[in-house]
Amino acid sequence: MKAAREARGAVDIRRRALAGATAAALAFLCALVASLCIGSSPLPPGQVLRALAARLLPGLLGQGMLADPMAVVIVWDLRLARSLLAGVAGAALGSAGAVMQGLFRNPLADPYALGVSSGASLGAVAAIALGLGSPLVAVGATELLAFAGALGSALLVYTIARSSRRQSQTASLLLAGAAVGSFLGALVSLIVTIDSRDLQRVFFWLLGGFGGKSWSDLGAALPFAALSIGLSALLARPLDLLGAGEEAASSLGLEIERTRKLAVAASSLGVAAAVSAGGIIGFVGLLGPHLARLLVGPGHRRLIPASALTGAALLMVADAIARSVASPLELPVGIVTALVGAPLFLRLLARRLPGDAPRQAAP
């Protein structure tokens, strides 16, 4: 029976998506544990798990299972906060990337498509150049101004696109993002040229990294990243509809403008949280959604959470490599994500999926 076979096909697709979602979650957990193992004094996974349990579930472990006190200190006081921060930033970048790709209907869009990275850079570089102190105890001035710069530039891009008279405001958004991005990027270069005292710090910030980050940084980034991912999840069905094009989505009852506004808000909040936590980290927001699409398919209800998981896994692993590969020297994590991410991405591109080809007009 052909019908029965096709119905099975639909069930298969659903089952495969479920398996993919499980794989994404496992990848996240494995990446977290691996990032805790890797470091200047490597720990075996069993030791890491026992050390985690020692503070999470004290009293649960039997006498023979006690964790090495040194491992507990390394895991909890040195590595965990940093790994989780990388994970949170990666999750925010991954889901923001999925939202941008959905909004622009383009798999090439990344979370920085709205010029947000330049806005964040401008904020951070200004803070470094001016030697600003922070009004907040928990967060440094660099992080604070990077966050403000990211949100400010997104708002600017949105306002410019909103006032454009072009037919597609979504296209205007992309164009305004490119223009504002290079304008702010030039301002960054200008500041760095005039005031080159802290070039090393600026350089490291622009390439991204989580060196010296602690629990308070995690506490600052987590609420915004969580809010961003939550808003993105609300956008799942609207983004599915947008995949058919704006006119079709509108005829199906979708308020395009509201969707666009929420997508810009959700993604720029997440990117702002990520850049203020770890600087400008490329490629995670592009690669995360692509990996997730391989695992769970193109439907945004699964894609957005899966992109958050793959983005988190990628960035945790990249950060572990960045701090250990040339130890005691620490590489900027942006270098690792690009060096590892770009070849991986190219491999994904070479692997054509069934149905991945653009729809051809019938002859």
Partner 1 sequence: MSGRILRLAATGLSCGYPGRLVLSGIELDLAEGEVLALIGPNGSGKTTLFRTLSGELRPLAGEALVATQSGSALVGAQGLSRAARARVIARVLQAESPSWPSTVREYVEAGTFASTGWFGSPGLAEARAVVEAMKATGIAELEGRRVTELSGGEFRLVLIARALAQKPAVLLLDEPAAELDIARQMEVLGLLRELSGRGVAVALSVHDLNLAAMVADRVALLARGSLIAVGRPREVITAESVAAAYGASVVVGDHPAGDLPHIVHIPDWLDRNPPRGRGRG
d(CA 279, CA 338) in angstroms, rounded, equals 14
Which residue number, 94 or 298, has a Cβ lying nearer to partner 1? 298
Write each residue from 90 to 129 as x if it is in contact with partner 1 (CB under 8 A), else as -, in one continuous string: ---------------xx-----------------------
In Å, how far from its chain's centre is CA 300? 16
CB of 231 vs partner 1, minimal distance in Å: 12
Query: C-beta of 283: minimal distance to partner 1 in Å?
Result: 21
Does the footprint of partner 1 cover residue 253 (CB under 8 A)?
yes
In angstroms, give the least distance from the CB of 113 to partner 1.
15
Piece of the chain touching partner 1 by CB under 8 A; list 81-89, 126-134, 199-207, 240-248: 240-248
**Residue 77 sits in the site that holds partner 1 (CB under 8 A):** no
Distance CA 180, CA 150 (A): 12
- Alpha helix ranges (H) inside 164-299: 169-194, 199-207, 215-234, 236-242, 246-251, 256-278, 284-296
Residue from 88, 241, 274, 309 in contact with partner 1 (CB under 8 A):
241
In three-state secondary structure terms, 115 is: coil
CA distances from 23 to 183, 241, 347 (A): 41, 26, 19
Q: How far apart are CA 250 and CA 285, in angstroms?
A: 28
3-state secondary structure of 245: coil
Q: Among residues 248, 326, 346, 349, which is the contact residue for partner 1, using CB under 8 A?
A: 248
What three-state secondary structure class fits 20? helix
Q: Find the shortest distance in angstroms from Cβ 361 to partner 1.
A: 6
C-alpha span between 249 and 299 (Å, rounded): 15
Q: What count of other Cβ atoms lies within 10 Å of the Cβ of residue 251?
A: 11
329 touches partner 1 (CB under 8 A): no
Of 244, 294, 335, 340, which one interacts with partner 1 (CB under 8 A)? 244
Decide if residue 326 touches partner 1 (CB under 8 A).
Answer: no
Q: Is 198 helix (H, G, I), strand (E, B) or coil?
A: coil
List the one residue from 138, 171, 234, 325 that touches partner 1 (CB under 8 A): 234
Q: Which three-class secondary structure state does DSSP give residue 282?
A: coil
Q: Which residues of the chain form contacts with partner 1 (CB under 8 A)?
A: 2-3, 6-13, 105-106, 234, 237-238, 240-245, 247-248, 250-255, 293, 297-299, 353-359, 361-362
